[in-house]
């Protein structure tokens, strides 16, 4: 179909071309979600070869997320204006090129620059994928099914990232975690012009550079503050960054109210389906990432599994998240979306309760049961919440709505690691302080109390039973911290699940969206 047809044939059934186009759209979705987690496995070998300083190592990890979070809303708006397919293909070329540069970067400085550009390119890829689905699938049931596929692939990528990273690093060098992006982007560049329609807002108004600057100046300090909080750094610099982020967020919102054609239509928040779904999706990711922050180390450092084996242990989450996304969408044939979203949050809460019962001894049935419930619940929430957000916005604003949805989930991820991570680390330090063996020096005690890895390193230096006692105490303290974080995740999802039941019980996906205008026949 062409862009005009996609916008005017309100209930047209999608054909083979649309479904093939959906497969093509899943390529960047899968890669970007994999990229978020796969780098963690490459850090040891990367650090050994490039020898970055401590600050440079942090920038290698964080700069990608900074630029991605800061540019999602502007890039969603830009795609509505210049054409979503055009922005997607430009982003694919940039993402592939920057990935190749990162793979062969000879210095830490060049890798940081490549990661920054890679984050900016990723921001051009995500909003067009969800916004193009809004145009390609105009019949509500098919639209819901297509967005469920989008959500399941995004969740799947986050979960299989550790598995892919573990496998690549057992067979190749660290640059392979970046280089795998290149052939996938090449496929997108070849098939995208053939299978994807073009769509742009026929009356976009001017692109407001001041709004772009304001949203960047709001997002970048805010993400920085969250990252520092995740490292238990609550000093003046962290507080100042948070305040700067809030200040520019307020300036951005005030400017949007005054503009005739705002970058972000704040009127969308008057729709309960839009606003509550947005918050619910962010909370679900907050709880999931905050707990998985501990589970990876739990598998490798407490249960002493190899990276690839630890990655494979998360497969139940991947499988059940896909099932939850697809079957959750199907369940709306009989139940209102709000009931399905609320039920998903409650299932996720039950999964966290099971995770909270894990101990220092391996209990794989309990682990798998908890991860299955987590995946199923959060998969259904993400699929339906993303559908509610995008279908509640008019088609010409779908790119902006998509950018906002993805920004909310990015901040949910960052806050999950910061807030639940801080809670878990505080418990770890408190419990370990009571279990430190006698005879440790002040330096050894400080290093052991910092992280589980630090405690195990100190334990390896100690002779006799003192080392074993410290290792056992550190693992027990870490599990106590993980349990506390899991209970916090369970309570958070339980409360938000009840609120979703109450606020979305009468909502239907797309019922508040304005009538669709004719699209620009850009093809």
Determine the angle formed by the axes of helices 337-355 and 364-391, rounding to 10 degrees: 150
Burial letters 202-231, b for 16+ CB under 10 A, else e: eeeeeebeebbebbbbbbbbbbbbbbbbbe
pLDDT of 153 reads 80
Q: Which of 411, 341, 356, 3 is nearest to 144 (CA)?
A: 341
Closest alpha carbon to 510 in 408, 399, 404, 386: 386
Render each residue's pLDDT in the chain as its tens digit; 523 residues.
334 333 434 455 666 777 888 888 888 888 877 776 667 667 667 777 777 766 676 677 777 877 777 788 788 778 777 888 888 899 999 999 999 998 898 888 888 888 888 888 888 888 888 778 877 877 777 777 787 787 778 777 766 776 777 777 777 787 888 888 889 899 989 998 888 888 776 666 677 778 778 877 887 787 777 767 666 667 788 888 889 888 888 888 888 788 777 777 777 777 777 778 788 888 887 777 777 767 877 887 888 787 677 777 877 777 887 787 777 767 777 877 778 888 888 888 999 899 889 888 888 889 889 888 888 888 788 777 777 777 776 666 666 677 777 777 777 776 776 677 777 878 888 888 777 777 677 777 777 777 777 777 777 777 667 777 888 888 888 888 888 888 988 888 898 888 888 877 776 654 444 433 334 444 4
How is residue 251 written in tokens?
Answer: 């300036």
Query: pLDDT at position 513, please?
Result: 43
Dihedral of CA 218/224/226/229: which sign?
negative
- Integer CA distances (angstroms), 52 to 60, 99, 115, 485, in order: 9, 19, 14, 31
**Global pTM?**
0.72
């Amino acid at each position: 179909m062409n862009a005009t047809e996609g916008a005017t044939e309100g209930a047209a059934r999608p054909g083979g071309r649309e479904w093939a186009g959906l497969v093509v759209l899943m390529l960047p979705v899968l890669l970007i979600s994999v990229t978020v987690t796969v780098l963690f496995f490459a850090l040891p070998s990367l650090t050994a070869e490039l020898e970055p300083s401590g600050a440079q190592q942090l920038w290698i990890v964080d700069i990608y997320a900074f630029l991605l979070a800061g540019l999602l809303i502007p890039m969603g708006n830009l795609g509505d204006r210049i054409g979503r397919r055009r922005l997607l293909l430009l982003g694919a070329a940039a993402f592939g090129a920057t990935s190749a540069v990162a793979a062969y970067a000879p210095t830490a400085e060049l890798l940081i620059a490549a990661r920054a550009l890679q984050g900016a390119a990723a921001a051009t890829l995500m909003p067009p994928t969800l916004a193009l689905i809004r145009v390609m699938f105009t019949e509500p049931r098919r639209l819901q099914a297509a967005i469920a596929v989008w959500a399941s692939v995004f969740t799947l990528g986050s979960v299989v990232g550790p598995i892919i990273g573990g496998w690549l690093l057992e067979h190749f060098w660290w640059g392979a975690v970046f280089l795998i992006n290149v052939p996938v982007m090449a496929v997108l560049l070849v098939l995208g012009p053939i299978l994807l329609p073009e769509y742009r807002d026929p009356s976009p108004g001017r692109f407001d550079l001041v709004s772009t600057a304001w949203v960047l100046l709001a997002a970048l300090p805010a993400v920085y503050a969250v990252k520092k909080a995740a490292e238990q750094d609550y000093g003046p610099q962290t507080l100042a960054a948070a305040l700067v982020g809030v200040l520019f967020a307020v300036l951005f919102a005030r400017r949007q109210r005054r503009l005739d054609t705002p970058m972000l239509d704040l009127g969308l928040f008057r729709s309960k389906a839009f606003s509550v779904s947005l918050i619910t999706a962010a909370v679900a990711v907050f709880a999931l990432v905050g707990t998985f922050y501990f589970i990876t180390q739990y598998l490798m450092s407490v249960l002493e599994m190899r990276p690839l084996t630890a990655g494979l242990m998360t497969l139940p989450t991947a499988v059940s998240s896909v099932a939850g996304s697809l079957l959750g969408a199907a369940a709306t044939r009989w139940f209102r979306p709000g009931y399905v979203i609320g039920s998903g949050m409650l299932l996720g809460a039950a999964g966290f309760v099971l995770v909270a019962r894990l101990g220092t001894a391996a209990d794989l049935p309990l682990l798998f049961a908890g991860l299955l419930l987590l995946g199923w619940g959060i998969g259904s929430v993400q699929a339906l919440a993303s559908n509610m957000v995008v279908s509640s916005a008019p088609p010409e604003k779908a790119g902006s709505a998509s950018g906002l949805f993805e920004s909310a989930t990015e901040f949910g991820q960052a806050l999950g690691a910061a807030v639940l991570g801080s809670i878990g680390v505080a418990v770890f330090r408190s419990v370990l302080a009571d279990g430190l063996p006698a005879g440790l020096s002040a330096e050894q005690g400080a290093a052991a109390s910092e992280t589980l890895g630090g405690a195990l390193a100190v334990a390896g230096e100690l002779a006799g039973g003192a080392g074993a006692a410290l290792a056992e105490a550190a693992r027990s303290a870490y599990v106590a911290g993980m349990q506390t974080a899991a209970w916090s995740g369970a309570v958070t999802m339980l409360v938000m699940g009840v609120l979703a039941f109450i606020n979305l019980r009468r909502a239907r996906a797309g019922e508040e969206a304005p009538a669709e205008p004719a699209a620009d026949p850009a093809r």
